[in-house]
Amino acid sequence: MFKPKYPSPDTYTPVTIRPTPATAEHPESAPAPVTAKAPNALGSLVQQSPGTTLALAVGAVVGVLAVASVAVSLLLAVAVTAVALSISAVVVLFLVRALRQEFKNH
């Protein structure tokens, strides 16, 4: 029930397109061959207009600002962690010195 049914491999027939007698006798009525145009720098599908250029510029600025805000957030997190660790190190150092002083006196 759930097994796919594939056609047998011998049923495939390749399709060949041959010119019809009408196009062979009158080549001017035959369809013109399709030629590919060379794409411009931005591709052949992009229409250049002031609105498109403005939209690309705004998109680039928004992307740069987003990446910059993430980078600043990461740097700020590293800075806060470094400050917290340094304060903890000073407190631990103070406690160790206090314990050494106490053991020396007793």
Q: What is the DSSP string of 46-74?
A: PPP-HHHHHHHHHHHHHHHHHHHHHHHHH
Residue 1 lies in a domain: no
pTM of the shown model:
0.45
Containing structural domain, residue 84: 73-106
Residue 99 lies in a domain: yes
Res. 49: pLDDT tops 70:
yes
Residue 81 lies in a domain: yes
d(CA 104, CA 99): 9
Number of domains in the chain: 1
3-state secondary structure of 35: coil
Res. 82: pLDDT tops 80:
yes
Residue 98 lies in a domain: yes
Q: Provide the pLDDT confidence category of residue 44 given band limits of 50, 70 and 90.
A: low
